Amino acid sequence: MNILVEQLPTAVEIDGAEYLLNTDFRACIRVILAFEDDELTECEKQIIMLSTLYPEIPDNVSVAIEQALKFLNGGQLEDVQEESHLRLYSFQKDAGFIFAAFRQTHGIDLETAKLHWWKFLALFMDLGADTTFCNLVSLRKRLKTGKATKEERQAAREMGDLIEVPEPDTRTLEERQKEEEFMQLVTQGKS
């Protein structure tokens, strides 16, 4: 799909029926935040995604999930190599910087803006290099790839928690529970 010459999607076709999508950028960010929430199970994350993006949830849930992920990915099928990409920002942690960068770069107040998710993505990918957000992302990338200068590494240490972007916990609920049980045994001195 070409955003320059085609209408942005507002629905998907599943099993011959059209299902409307909630295309507002805020809804999509809520879904992403849910997927980053380590307290939620995979099933809960999927329920949040379906109930947030579909005003009427399709009967074919597996295709609905596939279509929702494709929509969140800007129309692209999910890239399996994406796991190897560095996590350089978080919509939760960097929300204020992203908000300011949209205002500075595009003159858009995200509080009042009505943006289709794909428009948001296009504008997000073109935030100005002179914004605090982009400078922070650039520094994080240099740090994670080992290309940061000595001065940048020192500055990052001084920034403390601001520079860290938490990686989502990809363990299953069962794996997390087993680790928690093990840690309880260790702290009780029974291991």
**Structural domain includes residue 30:** yes
**Structural domain includes residue 60:** yes
**Residue for token digits 């009780």?**
188
- Domain hosting residue 33, numbered range: 11-84
pLDDT at 190: 58
| Residues 119-177 pLDDT 10s | 999 999 999 999 999 999 999 999 999 999 999 999 999 999 999 997 777 777 788 78
**Structural domain includes residue 49:** yes
pLDDT at 80: 45
CA 27 to chain centre: 12
pTM value is 0.85
The rounded distance, in Å, linking the Cα atoms of 19 and 58 is 7
Contacts of 60 (CB under 8 A, 6+ apart): 14, 15
| Residues 8-44 pLDDT 10s | 999 999 999 999 999 999 999 999 999 999 889 899 9
Helix (H) / strand (E) containing 12: strand 11-14
**Is the Cβ–Cβ distance between 115 and 8 less than 8 Å?**
no
pLDDT at 84: 52
Residue 82 pLDDT more than 60? no
**Structural domain includes residue 48:** yes
**Is the Cβ–Cβ distance between 20 and 54 less than 8 Å?**
yes
Structure tokens that stand for 171 in this block: 């363990």
**Structural domain includes residue 190:** no
**Structural domain includes residue 39:** yes
**Structural domain includes residue 172:** no
pLDDT at 5: 96
User: Across 15-63, where does the E strand assignment appear?
Assistant: 17-20
The rounded distance, in Å, linking the Cα atoms of 135 and 141 is 10
Helix (H) / strand (E) containing 51: helix 42-53
**Structural domain includes residue 155:** no
Q: How many domains does one find in the chain?
A: 1
The rounded distance, in Å, linking the Cα atoms of 177 and 77 is 32
